[in-house]
Amino acid sequence: MAFFKFAITLLLLALISARISLAHPGIGIGWGGNGQYGGSFYGLFPQFYQFSCPQVDNIVMSVLQKAIARQPRIAASLLRLHFHDCFVQGCDASVLLDDSAAIVSEKNSVPNRNSLRGFEVIDEIKAKLEEACPQTVSCADIVALAARGSVVLSGGPSWELPLGRRDSRTASLSGSNSNIPPPNSTVQNLIASFKRQGLNEVDLVSLSGGHTIGVARCVTFKQRLYNQNGNNQPDETLERTYYFGLKSVCPRTGGDNNISPLDFASPAKFDNTYFKLVLLGKGLLTSDEVLLTGDVGNIVQLVKSYAEDDELFFKQFAQSMVKMGNISPLTGFNGEVRKNCRLVN
């Protein structure tokens, strides 16, 4: 009887898997890790590693837990890494590639140089995954998983994360310079920049809420303190006390690498305080402040609604993160699964 049940189970499994791979050949990639399957449907889906690397999320989370316990800020750095990956030729781990004969690294772009962090944590996750499931989990998926895990471990929302991204064999320094909006952007610049990636104003506001954790260097907000409009005057939208505090960490000359929290009230906690601060004139970057003063469409209304309702913010942030994570992934036969996230195979 027991054997009979076992045989039936095997038969059912065989039928199910045959059906799945006939209907959705893309799923086959998840099974064999590096398998080659024909077919035209290669969407991302949460169960991509269900059979080829079921431990993937546990491994990611255990490395993150230790890294964040050592240094809470690393959660913020890993969240930002995913953003800077996805905005440049899609979420394809292009941002992780080091300079080499064939690669001009994005790590030297204006937004990334002396700024982007978290690469060692990604390396550590990759090394553990290569031991557990060799050549199976892409670096692009690791970055997406690390971003989600970092938000969760900082007290923010979780979400079902579509997986199956593959890694690029190229990087784009010029794309990194042109696609990632600068901190002194106007709200119109921000809207246009997000729109180029298929993201709308709701995504712009909710994802700006990522600034609820982490820090920025003095050089990224100095213009606001001393010369906002080329008139040697500070940005008058800055709340006074906050402004004096910022001047003490960010002098007119020098101190470019001094840091200040993006959400000084709770810099390591993922919550909706960022929006409350923006409403009080205590947003750190011009790009934060213009969500209040830019006066375009329903942007201010969105800031207010997230400031009032943290659940609404969490829900929308999760949705927008999935949307950002779906920007032009490489799937199917495209790209590769890198062995080392810093190098093409």
Ligand X SMILES: *[C@@H]1O[C@H](CO)[C@@H](O)[C@H](O)[C@H]1NC(C)=O
Active site residues: 84
Among ligand HEM, ligand X, none, residue 184 binds (CB under 5-8 Å by kind): ligand X
C-alpha 177/C-alpha 88 separation (Å) is 9
Residue 165 or residue 224: which is nearer to ligand X going by CB? 224
Q: Cα 295 from chain centroid?
A: 27
Instruction: Judge whether 167 is annotated as a binding position.
Output: no
> Is 90 annotated among the ligand-binding residues?
yes
Alpha carbon distance 88, 77 (integer Å) = 17
Question: In Å, how far are 145, 159, 220 from 118, measured between CA atoms?
Answer: 13, 22, 19
Q: Which of 33, 43, 72, 182 binds ligand X (CB under 6 A)?
A: 182
Does residue 94 have a known ligand-binding role?
Answer: yes
**182 marked among binding-site residues:** no
13 to 8, 42, 89: CA distances (angstroms): 9, 22, 38
**Residue given tokens 């546990």 in the structure block:** 58
Question: Could you tell me if 145 and 57 are in contact, meaning their C-beta atoms sit under 8 angstroms apart?
Answer: yes
Which residue intervals of the chain are DSSP H helices?
Answer: 2-23, 27-32, 56-70, 73-86, 119-132, 139-153, 173-179, 187-195, 201-208, 222-226, 240-249, 273-279, 286-293, 299-308, 310-325
> Is 219 marked within a binding site?
no
**166/238 Cα distance (integer angstroms):** 43
- Of 11-19, 41-49, 76-84, 128-136, which part binds ligand HEM (CB under 6 A)? 76-84
Amino acid at 203: D
For ligand HEM, which residue of 79, 91, 142, 187 counts as binding (CB under 6 A)?
79
Partner interacting with residue 148 (select from ligand X, ligand HEM, none; CB below 5-8 Å by kind): none
Cα angle at 324 between 319 and 325, to 5 degrees? 95
Please pick, from the candidates 181, 234, 281, 332, the single residue that binds ligand HEM as defined by CB under 6 A: 181
Judged by CB under 6 A, the stretch of 182-190, 236-244, 306-314, 337-345 that binds ligand HEM is: 182-190
- Pattern of binders to ligand HEM over 10-49, x per CB under 6 A? ----------------------------------------
Interface residue with ligand HEM among 183, 234, 281, 335 (CB under 6 A) is 183
Select the binding partner of residue 115 from ligand HEM, ligand X, none (C-beta < 5 to 8 A, by kind). ligand HEM
The pair of structure tokens assigned to 229 is 């409009």
Describe the crossing of helices 139-153 and 310-325 by its angle, rounded to 10 degrees: 170
212 annotated as a binding-site residue = yes
Of residues 21, 55, 115, 184, which one binds ligand X by CB under 6 A?
A: 184
CA distances from 174 to 108, 121, 188 (A): 10, 26, 21
Task: Say how many residues touch ligand X, by CB under 6 A.
Answer: 2
- Residue with smaller CB distance to ligand X, 219 or 344: 219
Q: What binding mask, one character per residue, do residues 243-282 give for ligand HEM by CB under 6 A, x or -?
A: -------------------x--------------------
263 appears as a binding residue in the annotation = yes
Residues in contact with ligand HEM, shown as a per-residue x/- string from 114 to 153 under the rule CB under 6 A = -x-x------------------------------------
Strands 215-217 and 259-261: antiparallel
What residue numbers does the annotated binding site for substrate cover? 181
Which positions lie near ligand HEM, rule CB under 6 A? 73, 76-77, 79-80, 83, 115, 117, 181, 183, 185, 190, 207-208, 210-211, 213-217, 220, 262, 285, 287
